[in-house]
Amino acid sequence: MSASPAFSRRSGLHLRRLTLHGERIAYRQAGEGPVVLLIHGITSDSSAWARVLPYLARGHTVLAPDLMGHGGSAKPRGDYSLGAHASGLRDLMVALGHERATFVGHSLGGGIAMQLSYQFPELCERLVLVDSGGLGREVNPLLRAAALPGSEYVLPVLAATRLLDAGRLAAGVLARVGLRLGTDLQEMARGHATLSDPDARAAFLHTLRSVVEPGGQRVDASSRLYLARHIPFMLVWGERDPIIPVEHGRAAHARLPGSRLEVFPDSGHFPQLDQPERFLDVLSGFILETEPAAVDPDGLRALLRAR
Q: In whole angstroms, what is the distance from residue 201 CA to residue 75 CA?
A: 9
Q: Which helix (DSSP H) or strand (DSSP E) does residue 156 occupy? A: helix 151-159
Tell me, yes or no, if 21 is annotated catalytic.
Answer: no
pLDDT (mean) for 8-37: 86
Band (189; pLDDT cuts 50, 70, 90): confident
Band (301; pLDDT cuts 50, 70, 90): confident
Look over the chain and give the mean of its residue pLDDT values, rounded to a whole number: 87
DSSP 8-38: SSTTSPPPEEEEETTEEEEEEEE-SSSEEEE
Higher pLDDT, 11 or 270: 270
Rg (alpha carbons) of the chain, rounded to whole number: 18
pLDDT (mean) for 100-125: 96
pTM of the full structure: 0.89
Tell me, yes or no, if 14 is annotated catalytic.
Answer: no
* From 66, 241, 248, 274, the catalytic residue: 241
Pick the CATH number of 5-137+219-292 from 3.40.50.1820, 3.90.79.10, 3.90.960.10, 3.40.50.620: 3.40.50.1820
Tell me, yes or no, if 241 is annotated catalytic.
Answer: yes
**206: number of Cβ within 10 Å:** 17
pLDDT (mean) for 15-25: 95
* From 46, 107, 117, 267, the catalytic residue: 107
Q: In whole angstroms, what is the distance from residue 4 CA to residue 140 CA?
A: 33
CA-nearest of 57, 18, 16 to 38 is 57
Q: In this predicted structure, what is the pLDDT of residue 181? A: 53
Q: In this predicted structure, what is the pLDDT of residue 9? A: 46
Contact by Cβ (8 Å): 205, 152: yes
* pLDDT tops 90 at residue 75: yes
**297: number of Cβ within 10 Å:** 9
CA distances from 221 to 134, 261, 283 (A): 5, 17, 22
Q: For the chain, give every domain's residue range.
A: 5-137+219-292
* From 66, 132, 269, 274, the catalytic residue: 269
Coil/strand/helix, residue 79: coil
